[in-house]
Amino acid sequence: MRNKLNFITVFIITIAGCYNKPLTPSVQPRAINKMTQNEILDTIAKKPPMGWNSYNCFGGNVTETEVKANADYMAEKLKQFGWEYIVVDFLWYCDDINSAEKMANRRPHQYIDEFGRLIPSVKLHPSSEGGKGLKPLGGYIHSKGLKFGLHIMRGIPRQAIEANTPVKNSQVKAADIANLPDTCVWYGGLTGVNMTKTGAQEYYNSLFELYAEWGVDYIKVDDIVFPYHADEIEAVRKAGGICFIAHPEDGTLPAFNETDISWVNWDVTGYTGIELWNGFSELKSVARGKWDAVAYAFFPAYIPHGPLPETLRRWDELTAQGRQVVAVGGSDAHAQHLSMGPLHRIIFPYAYHFSSINTHTLVPSPLSGDLAKDRKMVFDALANGHCYVGYDLPAPTRGFRFSAQGREINAIMGDEIVSSTPVTLQAKLPSPAEMQLLKNGKVIKSTDDEMLTYITDGPGVYRIEAYIHFLGKMRGWVFSNPIYVR
């Protein structure tokens, strides 16, 4: 999908809620408590989010029974390997008719509640009868030790506008906030929301309040960036979302009719960060033709070299503008089937892909087992850049740390600090490798050891890159988020 934004919506009650505060990078200098080496090692996430999305197999017709069956299978066969998300995609609020018909119609009947919010089709989800919504389904998924995700469309349902339903916690009605000309080009069931109108933010807040009541852990927001809707992205952010630009640089692969899906609108604002390293898309940058692709399909470990230079350059340009831009890594796992005559191969099988490019998060305390508390802690870390990108196949990157110590102030990667005196930066790798310290995108110190120390000579955006020898060449290993010294 061209120009894709990924939202992770963090709920204070569950994960999907509307929230007492937005989880976005702080723009104010702040100090954090010192963490010992062992504390840091104990708080690094071991894996990226892993799960199943109903649209891939069922389109817009997935039923509650089918969702539960997939949850059962994941709990029994996959949960032990880290799989945990069950995501109900598109059209859960319409009756079970043919997906193609739903799409061709563009305006199928959608079910709404008294506040104009989409609610599930009882035909698809029988347990929702009686106003229960998707809470029973969410409870079933949680009973399996899994997490519940939900696809939503930007905007407000046409049925709500036609009925002029009230907006919860406001004095306005649906027609007052609707932006009728602003409709998705491929689905007409909703129109945009005019965010300049009183009650518009309250409408979005009420959506996420409802999803929190249902126990939703993950929200996928569609039709929000092409064309770009900054105001509604901001509305989602205010309701507790964090947002990353996926595929900032993602060129063509003509041999397989893969087009350029690079992000193009860099005037956007309100996002949390960017996908610095995409494991699947890197194939495009190394495969010169079909036979190259075939070779890499059989030997995928030869593909990763590091984030694309253009993406690193773009990231440095963004942070040089005084912005805090969080970098994450994406496996972008598809387990895609490749066929060329008699040759058949799965490119990037899941077991391989989730052992390679990962985002490691640093949290202030060990996971407690309290799902809501732990969930908030992990997403806080992502929102604030307390994370790094690691290529774990050559050697585990767990244990990497990058910190700063100044007069009466301490920081870790992602933090912004203000200091009129020099600050001591320290970086430690799990094992010796080629490590570089960069200031404003330029290398200022390097070492082949596992430790690096540097005393700053002024303000700047400081970050770490590390490279390791693997399969005959130097390859990217660790890419930290910056420490911003002002």
pLDDT category at 433 given cuts 50, 70, 90 is very high
271 falls within a domain: yes
Distance CA 284, CA 259 (A): 10
CB half-sphere exposure, 127, CA atoms < 13 A: 13
Tell whether 47 is covered by a domain. yes
Confirm if 144 and 67 have CB atoms less than 8 A apart: no
**What are the tokens at 206?**
């009420």
**DSSP 8-state code for residue 130:** T
pLDDT tens by residue, 363-396: 999 888 887 788 788 889 999 999 999 999 999 9
Amino acid at 87: V
Do 246 and 275 contact (CB within 8 A), yes or no?
A: yes
- Per-residue pLDDT, averaged over 474-481, amounts to 98
* Arithmetic mean of pLDDT, 321-341: 81
Residue 95 inside a domain? The answer is yes
| Whole-angstrom distance, CA of residue 43 vs CA of residue 239 | 27
Is 65 inside a domain boundary?
A: yes
Q: Is 296 a domain residue?
A: yes
What CATH code is carried by the domain that includes residue 182? 3.20.20.70
Residue 104: what pLDDT?
Answer: 56
Does residue 455 lie within any of the structural domains?
no
Please give the pLDDT value at position 338.
Answer: 66
Closest listed residue to residue 285, CA positions, set 301, 304, 263: 304
- Rounded to 10 degrees, the C-alpha dihedral 15/20/25/27 comes to 180
Q: What is the pLDDT of residues 73-106, one digit of tens each?
A: 999 999 888 889 999 999 999 986 565 555 555 7
Tokens 């046409």 identify what position? 158
As a whole number of angstroms, the distance between CA 477 and CA 360 comes to 12
Give the Cα separation of 176 and 134 in Å (integer): 28
Domain coverage including residue 262: 5-397
Q: How many domains does the chain have?
A: 1
Give CA–CA dist 155/179, Å, rounded.
9
Is the residue at 463 inside a domain?
no
pLDDT per position as a tens digit, 200-241: 999 999 999 999 999 998 888 888 866 667 777 777 777 767
Alpha carbon distance 277, 358 (integer Å): 9
Closest to 255 (Cα-Cα) out of 300, 287, 295, 297? 287
**Chain length of the chain:** 486
Taking the model in full, what pTM does it have? 0.62
In a domain, 217, yes or no: yes
